[in-house]
Every structure is written in C-alpha cells, then in structure tokens.
Amino acid sequence: MAIVLGPNQYGKAENRLVTVTRDGDVHTIKDLTVSTSLRGDLAETHLTGDNAAVLATDTQKNTVYAFAKEAPVGEIEDFALRLARHFVSSQEAITGARVLIDEHSWQRIEENDHSFVQGSNEKRTTAVTVEGSQAWVVSGLKDLVVLKSTGSEFHGFPRDKYTTLKEVTDRILATSVTARWRYQGSGIDWAKSFSEIRSILLRTFAAKHSLSLQQTLYAMGEAVLEERSEVAEVRLSMPNKHHFVVDLSPFGLENDNEVFYAADRPYGLIEGTVLRDDAEDPGQAWYSLPTF
C-alpha cells in the first residue's frame, strides 16, 4: 500500500473588490467577491514543502486588484476569464485555474451621481474554469427570493404512519433560488443573457401553476433551455420556504389562508438539473463544481 496525493487546488478565497469608475462626475461602482484557485503540478509543496511552483495566494489576491486597475473590470465573466487565463499562461506549473465571482447589487440613490443604496441580497455569479486552452463558463444567481400567494398545491403524496402533512389545493409557495447555467458556444453577451435568463426564471415561477416545487423547478429550467440557445444545462437549488397556516381555532377564529407562520427551518430542499439530451460533454470542469 502506498499513500499518494489526490486532487488538490489552492487559492485566495473571497477577495472583496470594489471599483469606482468615473465618467465626469457620474460614478459607477462594482462590488465583487472574487475567489481564485489554481491546480497543476503541486506535488512538491505537499510532499516536501518545496514551494518553487506555488504562486502565493497573496500574489493571487494582488493580481485581482491589479487587474481591476489595469483594464475595466467589465462583465464578471470577462474579468474571471482574464484572471484565469493569466494564471494558467504565466505559471509553468499551473495547468488549471478556476475563478468564482459573486456580484453584489447597488442602486443609484435617486438622481445622485455618487451615492448608492444596497439592493437585495441577490447576487449574480460566475464560475470560470480554464484548463490549458479550454474555458468553461457557468454563470448564475443566488439568493433570489420569490413568493406567490396562490397558484400552488401539494397533494397526492404517500401517507405512511409518520405522515401528518395535510393535502392542500392552495398554499403560499416561496423559495430562494440558486441557479447556475453552463454556457455553450461563443460570442455571448453576458449581461444580456443574464438579465434575460433571470426574467425567464421569474416569469416562469410566477406563471406556472404548481403541483410541487419540483414541478416548478423543472419548468423554470426547461423555459431557460427553450428560450436561450447559449445555455446547455441549468442547475437549480430551491429551498421550500414553508408558510404554515396558523391554527386560530383556540381563539374562536377561522383562518381562511390569511395568517401564516413563516418558518425558517427546517426547510424542504429541492434541487435538480435540467439539460439538453444532446448537450456536449463538458468534461471534468463542470462536474467538479459544487453540484448545486
């Protein structure tokens, strides 16, 4: 029996980067959390502590900030691609790089040129992987919280001796959507694609009469694939943010689906992938991202 080093990567996680771009007096800000990780011939540092191949995580952090100055950050996908390609092309030992970026939202305060209010907690995301000359872009969003106050039912599930859940034909359906979609093809307008996919997800959540959150999840992924040819695969993670009808009968009151207890845990966690059956195999890079 021999003990060997398995897959490994290293980098600087969650660099907080804010840029201010000035067009005369009008400022624009970008607020990003950038994580880098590198892979390659890194056995020596693990086995002997020889760091000749180790581009320090501190250097990776500095590169993120320097790149933000040297050229406009632009769309997060382009910034991530630039960084990942730089690490792979400039370091002989490094054969692969992954750059994850979350973009936090700020909105301009009224007509003010340089004051902003933080938007919701929703983030736009990207995960770019470069291996040699190949690149994969998986973009998405997280913490997109949505609720519909009707148009949702849940019944027909098995009843065993532990089942207490009532069947319902009208309930609140609420979730916090994490979506990741894998791009295929080239020449993609990242900003336009993002905003159209986001509105497809919202529109489908709202319009689809739901018999289960699973059905809603599939419909949301299916709609993205039907409308956006640049997307090969969509992964969705959707916690069921339960809203329980409060029993008001002890107070002699009838609750006609009007008063709810919004539970924060435990929550049902519904996760799934919707894909084209002829999508090209993305290889290891996609599969080694977090599954959902």
- Residues annotated in a binding site for O2: 57, 240
- Residue 259 engages ligand URC in binding (rule: CB under 6 A): no
Helices 57-70 & 76-90, crossing angle to 10 degrees?
A: 130
Among 7-15, 48-56, 140-148, 206-214, the segment contacting ligand URC (CB under 6 A): 206-214
The residue (of 56 and 165) whose beta carbon lies closer to ligand URC is 165
- Residue 213 engages ligand URC in binding (rule: CB under 6 A): yes
- Residue 231 engages ligand URC in binding (rule: CB under 6 A): no
Distances in Å between the Cα of 172 and the Cα atoms of 54, 180, 263, 271, 283 are 52, 25, 12, 19, 39
Q: Which of these is catalytic: 57, 59, 95, 273?
A: 57
Contact pick of 28, 122, 184, 268 for ligand URC (by CB under 6 A): 268
- Residue 135 engages ligand URC in binding (rule: CB under 6 A): no
CA distance 82 to 260: 48
Terminal CA-to-CA distance of the chain, rounded, Å?
35
Query: Catalytic site residue 12?
Result: yes
CB of 242 to ligand URC, least distance (A): 7
Residue of 184, 196, 266, 171 whose CA lies nearest to 233 = 184
CA dihedral over 62, 57, 92, 187, signed as positive or negative: negative
Place of tokens 């689809």: 208
Residue list, annotated binding site for urate: 57-58, 154, 171, 214, 240
CA dihedral over 253, 259, 265, 269, signed as positive or negative: positive
Q: Which of residues 139-178 bind ligand URC (CB under 6 A)?
A: 154, 165
Residue ranges binding ligand URC (CB under 6 A): 154, 165, 212-214, 240, 268
Give catalytic residues, as residue numbers.
12, 57, 242
